[in-house]
Structure 1
Amino acid sequence: MPKRIQFSRNGGPEVLEFVDHDPGQPGPGEVLVRHAAIGVNFIDIYYRTGLYAAPSLPSGLGLEAAGTVEAVGEGVTGFAPGDRVGAAFGPLGTYAQLQRIPATKLVKLPDGVSFDAAAASMLKGLTVQYLFRQIRELKAGDTVLFHAAAGGVGLIACQWARVLGVRLIGTAGGPEKCELARKAGAAEVIDYRGEDVVKRVLELTDGKKVATVYDGVGKDTWAISLDCAAPRGLVVSFGNASGPVDGVNLGILAAKGSLFVTRPTLGTYAATPEQVEPSSAELFGLIASGAIVPDVSRRYPLADAGEAQTALASRVTTGSLLLVP
């Protein structure tokens, strides 16, 4: 019997259950996928804890995976058994050996992209794609600040910035993480454990600050992000690794220099195949060329999903974590 991770109530890692689960044959418009590698992301923790609401309980978990098509349902075109595919757009349930997924939520993997690379980069890489290419299209010579530059999203962002000729100033905790971000392509890295981030940004920009701040950390870095944005600059708050930002007084944006703020999600920028296809093609092209190399720092058996999430939540990991079905 195939296995999956599910949860029947919200809470800590202890609510995760490793259970038998037969997804059945694909229905109309669906594809049955056998996962080969599964990505672990902060959004999975948000669903587990209840910060984001699952459609119903008990629920599967996970949004990112790569594997092989086992069967296709009625009306499905463009996919066939044996095709290599990746998923990052739902529904919940990638923490599983087998999953039924709507065909509209899948993309084919090119030959130059391995299962591990896809599972380590689809959600994170497509996040960077919309951050850098859609919210505000970055140009060579731009200077930006990117928090958690040694994390899974951050390391892809560092590499993508280098491709674009963007000067990325990263933040990371500790010398090892700072060096990792620097090697990935960050022009400068600030160790937030021992340095004043705002002061260093002022020094590195000759007092001008940056036009765009990318903040996937949330509560702990919100005030810092506002102080690092130049007048009429943009703060992109795209994650809640330290907890959600709440109690925002809009008057602060005026006081800090008529700032702009957005709280985007990948689901909005990758809602349809027409949106997903060019974004994923750009990401996969960079991976296949070697310009972006997804960093897989740790692999865990599927049954140890709770341990993987605990490691991710500790914010001591670097790169991407994978589950092996």
Structure 2
Amino acid sequence: MEMNKAAILKTPRALLEIEQIETWLPGVGEVVVRNEAIAFNPIEAKIQRLEMFDIEYPAVLGYTFGGTIESVGPGVDSFKSGDRVAVARWGRAASDIRFGAFQKYPLALEENLVKLDAQTSLHEGCGVMANLATVVAALSICMNLGYPPINARANRNGKKILIYGGSSSVGGLAVQYAVDAGYEVVTTSSLANWSLVQRRDASCIIEHTKPKEELLESIKMHGPYDGIFDAIGSPEVTSLLGELLAGNGGTFWSTSPTPVDKDLPKNVKKEWASYSDVLVGQEANQEAKMWYLHEYLPESLSSGRIFSNPSDIVPGGLGSVQNVLDTFMDGKISGKKVFVNPQEH
């Protein structure tokens, strides 16, 4: 195995620096992965630029990736060298620099691996893994919506859900998940991503680029809603949903806090959580975690029923990681799942 390199965040809000780092040895329950596909999430850019979480520096960011197992540590019996896997950085791995996705040879915990079969690409596997975990936790655990059957669609249950941001990576999966669970889904999209969102089988798509008053009226017209999930987590969407609920009051769930949360009407409550931790880290949800990692996710990926947004594979290896994060912060990524192969030079 060649020397390891990483894109390192040395201090808060600094630019990433590419440096050679230690070549890790796997401990008990750990594997070393030849990282071939970093799957980016908008939260990583917010962590770098906005210091959303209290992290230790220097840090190696990145929470999902895919690749080939190089070596396994003691006690690992479900995986072997050469297995193709998708990886999420959950549990004790979340704060440990050795497990960060922005490096060539990260460690991974056996419990956070999903083995991919021959027909599932690394991009589909790691592009879906953490985003869909967010959806399962947000909709079925936090919002108490029903779970979908595996590789099938439940009968309609007569309930209607609003999912704001149907063309985002999380939002698109949320639409598909809720539809498969039997809900009527209303969502939003720009015209540019309309056909992508249509593939998720929402019952209604509202163009979100309308003037705010028209957009709000369109959303109201298709309600009322038995649940609202904001997959964007921006100040603009927070304010919009606050206005939507202001008349009668209510609660919506979101993917992120914003500076305007404090300005919501007093009868409107916004909830958000570290959803992956809710699913994989809480003892009460271990049955749901096992269902997700060992049944729903691998079987849905293998059949092609669950799919990520179209891949945007950015060239340049680790040297392009900062540019990707900047593009997220500039709001220039829409309807795509962005990847970098850190093995490129």
TM class by smaller structure? 0.7 to 0.9
Alpha-carbon RMSD: 2.5
Q: Any idea what the Cα deviations from partners look like across 1:28-67, whole Å, max 9, x if unmatched?
A: 3321111121110012113212533354211111010111
Corresponding residue to 2:324 among 292, 305, 308: 308
Q: 1:50 to 1:204 in 2, by over 3 A?
A: closer
Q: Name the counterpart of 2:60.
A: 60
* CA–CA separation in structure 1 for the residues paired with 2:303 and 2:248: 37
Q: Is the deviation greater in 217-226 or in 61-70?
A: 217-226
The SS at the match of 1:251 is coil
How many residues are treated as equivalent by the alignment? 311
Q: Name the counterpart of 2:7.
A: 5
Q: 1:96-111 to 2 correspondence within 5 Å?
A: 96-111=103-118
Query: Which runs of no fewer than 5 residues in structure 2 stay unpaired?
Result: 147-155
- Normalized per residue, which structure has more strand? 1
2:114–2:298 CA contact under 8 A, matched in 1: no
The SS at the match of 1:270 is helix
1:150–1:181 CA contact under 8 A, matched in 2: yes
* CA–CA separation in structure 1 for the residues paired with 2:250 and 2:267: 13
The SS at the match of 1:321 is strand
2:266 counterpart of 1:251: yes
Q: Name the counterpart of 2:20.
A: 20
Q: Is the deviation greater in 224-233 or in 79-88?
A: 224-233
Q: 1:145 to 1:322 in 2, by over 3 A?
A: same
The SS at the match of 1:193 is coil
Q: Any idea what the Cα deviations from partners look like across 1:189-212, whole Å, max 9, x if unmatched?
A: 22222143321122123xxx2121
Q: CA deviation at 1:261?
A: 4.2
Q: CA deviation at 1:160?
A: 2.4
Corresponding residue to 1:121 among 128, 135, 159: 128
* CA–CA separation in structure 2 for the residues paired with 1:212 and 1:245: 21
2:239–2:260 CA contact under 8 A, matched in 1: no
Q: 1:1-325 to 2 correspondence within 5 Å?
A: 1-11=3-13, 15-53=15-53, 55-88=55-88, 89=90, 90-91=93-94, 93-135=100-142, 136-138=144-146, 140-172=157-189, 174-195=190-211, 196-205=214-223, 209-216=224-231, 217-229=233-245, 233-240=250-257, 243-247=258-262, 251-253=266-268, 261-265=270-274, 266-271=276-281, 275-280=288-293, 281-301=295-315, 302=317, 303-316=319-332, 317-325=334-342
The one-letter code matched in structure 2 to 1:210 is Y
* CA–CA separation in structure 2 for the residues paired with 1:81 and 1:179: 40
Q: TM-score, normalised by structure 1?
A: 0.85
Query: Which runs of no fewer than 5 residues in structure 1 stay unpaired?
Result: 254-259
Q: CA deviation at 1:233?
A: 4.8
Q: CA deviation at 1:111?
A: 4.3
Q: Is the deviation greater in 123-132 or in 260-269?
A: 260-269
1:296–1:322 CA contact under 8 A, matched in 2: no
2:69–2:82 CA contact under 8 A, matched in 1: yes
The one-letter code matched in structure 2 to 1:98 is Y
2:163–2:188 CA contact under 8 A, matched in 1: yes
Q: Is the deviation greater in 90-99 or in 136-145?
A: 136-145
Q: Any idea what the Cα deviations from partners look like across 1:228-283, whole Å, max 9, x if unmatched?
A: 4595754112225xx45542568333xxxxxx643122212221675533113313
Q: CA deviation at 1:321?
A: 0.8
* CA–CA separation in structure 2 for the residues paired with 1:231 and 1:144: 17
The SS at the match of 1:113 is coil
The one-letter code matched in structure 1 to 2:39 is G
Q: CA deviation at 1:3?
A: 2.1
* CA–CA separation in structure 2 for the residues paired with 1:227 and 1:50: 26
The SS at the match of 1:170 is strand
2:44–2:62 CA contact under 8 A, matched in 1: yes
2:251–2:270 CA contact under 8 A, matched in 1: yes
Q: CA deviation at 1:85?
A: 2.1
Where has structure 1 moved over 4 Å in runs of 4 or more? Answer: 229-233, 272-275
* CA–CA separation in structure 2 for the residues paired with 1:117 and 1:319: 12
Q: CA deviation at 1:128?
A: 1.5
Q: 1:263 to 1:270 in 2, by over 3 A?
A: same
* CA–CA separation in structure 1 for the residues paired with 2:54 and 2:248: 39
Q: Name the counterpart of 1:257.
A: none
* CA–CA separation in structure 1 for the residues paired with 2:55 and 2:270: 28
* CA–CA separation in structure 2 for the residues paired with 1:158 and 1:249: 25
The one-letter code matched in structure 2 to 1:276 is K
Q: Name the counterpart of 1:256.
A: none
* CA–CA separation in structure 2 for the residues paired with 1:144 and 1:227: 17
